[in-house]
A and B are shown apart, each in its own frame.
Chain A
Amino acid sequence: MTAVHSTPADVAHPAATPFMLRHAVLALARTEGARLVWHPVMLAGAALSVAFSLAFADATDIGGDYFALIGPTLLPLGLATLVAANLAALRSRRGGTGELYAAAPAPEHARTLAQLLALVWPAAAAVALVAVGFAWFGAWDGLDITPAGRTVTPGVEVVQGPLAVATFGALGVALARWVPHPGAGAVAAVALLVFQMPFMTWNLQGAGGWLLPLVNPHRLAAGVDSSWPCATGQAWPCIFGELAPLGWHLAYLAALAVLLGAAALLRDGRRRTDGVICTGAAAVVLVAGTLQMP
């Protein structure tokens, strides 16, 4: 406490404008996002996802390249995002900074919003992994995914992985707001792992699996006619086209992410906009969640 004559950086605090809070949220989201993607849990999750993709890529007899690109191998990254986002959203509670922040212009609502927007970073990481996967598997010109040599180009379903990562993250933030316990995120991650794995593997079918973030359309084709090749052990022809597409599931997933985010924001104080978004997202979740089921 010596340099008492230092000059303040005047430009650091410009005159108040209506956009200042919005800019603060974006700046905070950048900071939170950068911290999120470099979190050790996230790095471990990303490494595991890469390892899973490589492991499945070798399983050419089960179309592992397609399996990797449509998202299931991003499960470790998604669960890591859930845990890391949950820890980040609980940071203020752990650190006991509530009173300090309560006197700042940006309210808790802004911090929650920034933590939700920060999920763009892990989602972008997931997009990058999918893009690398495209190059690695040579998927731009289609995937040779069947023993008989069938070639299919992955379509809109490749969005599922990054979207699921963001949804997992939104769940982490919502949990932090509604169940502010340090172990809640980890428990949710384990529970999701337990439910996700059977539905993503090749041997369990069930319409309920469509309610989970990551689905394998091949496995979840409940109600498939027993004469179909996939039901008689010839899996490959029924993976694409013939079975339920992922379109409704992607709508369900996006709405679920928005619903979880709005629920997190509602905890910071009831606002009409958050309530409307929450209700709208819940309606889409309900409709798309029903329609996605075969």
Chain B
Amino acid sequence: MEPTVKLAGVEKRYGRTVALAGVSFDIAPGITGLLGPNGAGKTTLLRIVATVLAPDGGRLRVLGRDPGGAGERLEIRRRLGYMPQEPGFYRNFTAFEFVDYVAILKEMTDRRPRHAEVRRVLELVDLGAVMQRKIKTLSGGMRRRVALAQALLGEPELLVFDEPTAGLDPEQRLRFRQLLSHLAQDRTVVLSTHQTEDVAALCQRVVVMNEGTALFDGTVRDLAELARDKVWVADERAAGAHLSWRTAEGRHRHVGRAPAGAELLAPTLEDGYLMLLGGRAREDIAA
């Protein structure tokens, strides 16, 4: 079976800056998470998958089609739901009006069923009660959910989310996970996030990017395993650790080369990410 998205040596440059330096991996049905520090190329990659940007090099197939051709690109867009990192809104529109506007752009032209679909997606993201409020009166988290709702219009086969949980409160994040895990049962979801807990909780696959390349492509468990025997706790701070912090119990948790006889802990996805990216990840997490 052909993967939903197939990237082979995809490149993208902005002037002299290399955003993607030959990225190759496949995205299959289920949830794939993109992790990486700021500037790693995650957003550029998602924009290319969402057909917003054209790659400068390499080969790309989305939903079995080549987005380089206008006709095939249109077919991809008809089956795509995209939530950009900064979606932008019409502040004087109500949530309903805005999603309705996007629905028309998605070629849902019959008014009555379109309105039913708009109500459905707004209720899916828990905005049913405020759908007639103007967007400028909604909180940041609510606006984020409006952006999420528009991406769900028409049950797209491929959902592309860039930082979907940024700005959501903890309860909404958990609800988002519930919604996403339901949606991913019969479609492909690809998301980028800085929230490693979201990736650990949701994603069947994780791709770690850094400096325009895919450093890691595997399961969450595989990523965590990279830090096997490299996470330990001690009563004092260890000088050789990549990163260490004082836990709520008053002990020091370390990630790095464990000394002999150290009290090892089971690694998490975050630990594996840290080991993979080294100093860059430390800066990222510290930031």
Contacts and interface: CB of A to CB of B under 8 A. Distances in A.
A28 B126 CA distance: 26
Contact of B110 (A4, A12, A95, A106): A12
B107 to A, nearest CB: 4
B96 to A, nearest CB: 12
The residue among B82, B83, B88 with the most chain A CB atoms within 10 A of its own CB is B88
A233 interface: no
A106 B113 contact: no
Interface in A119-164: none
Contact of A12 (B83, B102, B114): B114
Interface in A174-223: none
B16 interface: no
A2 interface: yes
Interface of B: 47, 50-52, 74-75, 77-78, 80, 82-84, 86-91, 100-111, 113-114, 116-117, 120, 123-126, 145, 147, 150, 153-155, 160, 172, 175-176, 178-179, 182-183
Contacts of A97: 87-90
A41 B104 CA distance: 25
Most B-side CB within 10 Å, residue of A14, A26, A104: A104
A51 interface: no
Given A2-B126, A3-B124, A31 B107 contact: no
A7 interface: yes
A75 to B, nearest CB: 27
Contacts of A98: 88
Given A98-B88, A100-B147, A11 B110 contact: yes
B91 to A, nearest CB: 7
A12 B116 contact: yes
A241 interface: no
A104 B106 contact: yes
Contact of B106 (A5, A6, A91, A106): A106
Contacts of B145: 1
Contacts of B126: 1-2
Q: Which of A14, A28, A99, A101 has the most CB of B within 10 A?
A: A99
Question: For the side of the interface on A, what is the size category?
Answer: 35 or more
Contact of A8 (B50, B75, B80, B154): B154
B147 to A, nearest CB: 7
A95 B146 CA distance: 14
Interface stretch (A15-23, A243-251, A252-260, A282-290): A15-23
The 4 closest A-B pairs by CB, nearest first: A96-B88, A1-B175, A12-B117, A13-B154
8 contacts: A1-B178, A2-B126, A6-B120, A9-B117, A12-B113, A96-B88, A102-B52, A103-B160
Nearest to A11: B113
A102 B89 CA distance: 14
Contact of A103 (B82, B125, B175): B82
A203 B75 CA distance: 61
Contact of B78 (A3, A10, A23, A105): A105
A96 B86 CA distance: 8
Contacts of A96: 86-89
A9 B117 CA distance: 5
Given A1-B145, A95-B90, A105-B77, A9 B109 contact: no
Contact of A95 (B52, B88, B103, B178): B88
